[in-house]
Amino acid sequence: MAEPLQNTNYNPKGSQVISLEKGKIPPQAIDLEEAILGIALQDKYAIGQVVEIFRDEQVFYKAAHQEIYNAMLEMFEASEPVDLLSIIHKLKSRNTLEKIGGEFFLIQLTQKFSTSAHIEYHCRIVMQMHVKRQSIRVANEIIEQSYNDESDIFDLLSESQKQIDDVAQWLIRKKPSDFKTVVDSIFDASENNIAGVPSSLAKLQKKLNGYRETDLIILAARPGMGKTALMLNEVKHMAKQGNPVGIFSLEMSAKDLGRRMLAEECGIDSSKLTLNNLEDFERKLMNEKRAEFEKLPIFIHDQASLSPMELKVQAGKWKRENGIKMIFVDYLQLMSASGKNGTGNREQEISSISRSLKATAKDLEVPVMALSQMSRAVEQRGGFKRAILSDLRESGAIEQDADVIMFLLRPEYYKIYEWDDDDHTSCRGQAEISIAKFRGGETGQTIVGCDLQYMRFYDLEERDSFFEKLPNQDPNDAFEPVAVDADEDDLPF
């Protein structure tokens, strides 16, 4: 048996050492680290509990302890038994047995502890010490960069927020759910008639049963269709129902959004409100609505070129402080990918952004509706110029991540004044909402009223059917890709 080395706290190549600050020792729990390793060497089930919490992170403060855990993790992933003799053999093959203190050090670990009753609790404490050390590391890096005259302040803040967010992920990792808990939640929702956040349109509400938590909803259309107006109709309706909502507006200012919602609320021409060209009775009507209107629980963040990380940080704050029930983003293609995802390849950036929005919806457990632009291929198509999924800008990632994809069409915009049904019904002042993807049910189309002069979408009493297939429209024709020249698309995104 090898003699124990005097110094077992070696530093393998590539390990990060946190320097002492102000004479203080970094947060650590050496005794608990030893307890975890000692129990894992004796109890064959213990290593599974440890890996579930630590995964492949460099959690241990003592480098020798981390090396032992790395060997255990490698064996666990290979489905090899983890015990004293096997770990000795593994460390020998890695040429690190003598560096960690030899066989004697491992035997000492097994002799100190014998019960795995509290191993999960011990792991949580060690994890907390790791998070504290990581926080110190991030803070030190921020301090160093702040003293650097060449560092860009915006890059510094963006990277700092990202690193802090990465550290925070350690504390909010979601544990797996047992099936009984899942089933109980399903029955509770059914018995209590729990639905999602309500829509302002009866047909949409009936189809979706509200916008469900953790869902990513994409509302897509060409410019001029009324995407923002429909979004604001939903926002105001939800707020009036007592549901706080948050808006991230990358295109319009908070004041412009407020004007549009006020125009719809008061029935005033939105252009007159924008130009401040109001009649006396209109000003009086606005003053009467002001007290009620300003109390609506609506929160707006109108920063341009917002990154997904910045959105998640602000949305998390709204969730904690204001209990928001839904998030709106206007619009997706104006967001910017940060860090390693900002590669300059727009398709990869959009892919990263859509994944981040879906992750935000899941982490905060709120639905996220993101408005999206569409390519010019729609306008090059004949007939009613109905959209298909491939018309989405950088559509691949969006199609994959979204739970619901809705297309908005106003034929009147293209100077088409009759629907393509047998009766050639007038489509003036009307819009078609088409659900092209719906993870929770079937797709379909419906028709609603639309008056963009007053920024208003509403249900049509004479059209009481809910998402029936439009006459003369073959679903195979509606959703087959159409070849277009992508070079002719001159949209900025």
Environment class of 459 (CB within 10 Å of its CB; exposed 0-12, middle 13-18, buried 19+): middle
Q: What is the dihedral of CA 276, 279, 283, 285, to 10 degrees?
A: -130
- Read off the amino acid at residue 54: F
Phi-psi region of 58 (alpha: psi -120 to 50; beta: other; left: phi over 0): beta
The active-site residue, picked from 251, 282, 379, 412, is 251
The CATH number for 236's domain is 3.40.50.300
CA neighbor of 473 nearest in space, from 438, 444, 433: 444
pLDDT at 139: 85
Last-in-domain residue among 117, 145, 168: 168
Block residue for tokens 């492949």: 56
CA neighbor of 36 nearest in space, from 103, 124, 100: 124
Same domain, 120 and 211: no
Is residue 388, in this structure, part of any structural domain at all?
A: yes
CA 22-26-32 angle, to 5 degrees, is: 155
Same domain, 239 and 102: no
pLDDT at 245: 92
CA 250-253-258 angle, to 5 degrees, is: 125
pLDDT at 468: 54
pLDDT at 175: 59
Same domain, 163 and 209: no
Same domain, 116 and 244: no
Same domain, 278 and 135: no
pLDDT at 18: 47
Instruction: Supply the angle between the helices 84-93 and 63-77 in degrees, to the nearest 10.
Output: 100
Is residue 42, in this structure, part of any structural domain at all?
A: yes
CA neighbor of 386 nearest in space, from 260, 484, 473, 323: 473
Same domain, 76 and 205: no
Same domain, 394 and 462: yes
Is residue 179, in this structure, part of any structural domain at all?
A: no
The whole-angstrom separation of Cα 371 and Cα 229 is: 11
The CATH number for 109's domain is 1.10.860.10
Is residue 231, in this structure, part of any structural domain at all?
A: yes
User: CA 220 from chain center: how many Å?
Assistant: 18
Last-in-domain residue among 123, 147, 168: 168
Q: Is 251 noted as a catalytic residue in this protein?
A: yes
Same domain, 235 and 142: no
pLDDT at 483: 44
Same domain, 151 and 77: yes
Q: Are 229 and 246 in contact (CB under 8 A)?
A: no
Same domain, 86 and 210: no
Number of Cβ within 10 Å of residue 280's Cβ equals 7
Last-in-domain residue among 168, 189, 207: 168
How many domains are contained in the chain?
2
- Three state DSSP letters for the chain: CCCCCCCCCCCCCCCCCCCCECCECCCCCHHHHHHHHHHHCCCCCHHHHHHHHHCCCCCCCCHHHHHHHHHHHHHHHCCCCCCHHHHHHHHHHCCCCCCCCHHHHHHHHHHHCCCCCCHHHHHHHHHHHHHHHHHHHHHHHHHHHHHCCCCCHHHHHHHHHHHHHHHHCCCCCCCCCCHHHHHHHHHHHHHCCCCCECCCCHHHHHHHCCECCCCEEEEECCCCCCHHHHHHHHHHHHHHCCCCEEEEECCCCHHHHHHHHHHHHHCCCHHHHHCCCCCHHHHHHHHHHHHHHCCCCEEEECCCCCCHHHHHHHHHHHHHHHCCCEEEEECHHHCCCCHHHCCCCHHHHHHHHHHHHHHHHHHHCCCEEEEECECHHHCCCCCCCCCCHHHECCHHHHHHHCCEEEEEECHHHHCCCECCCCCCCECCCEEEEEEEEECCCCCEEEEEEEEHHHCEEECCCCCCCCCCCCCCCCHHHHCCCCCCCHHHCCCCC
The whole-angstrom separation of Cα 411 and Cα 426 is: 10
Same domain, 341 and 402: yes
Report the percent of the chain where pLDDT is more than 70.
Answer: 80
Same domain, 128 and 272: no
Number of Cβ within 10 Å of residue 478's Cβ equals 17
Block residue for tokens 């249900």: 459
- Read off the amino acid at residue 307: S
Is residue 3, in this structure, part of any structural domain at all?
A: no
Q: Which residues of the chain, if any, have pLDDT below 70? A: 1-23, 114, 158, 165, 168-179, 181-182, 185-195, 338-344, 393-396, 462-493
What is the pairing mode between strands 298-301 and 326-330?
unpaired
Sign of the CA dihedral running 200, 423, 419, 217:
positive
Question: Could you list the residue range(s) of the whole structural domain that residue 399 is in?
Answer: 199-488
The whole-angstrom separation of Cα 413 and Cα 384 is: 11
**This prediction's pTM:** 0.63
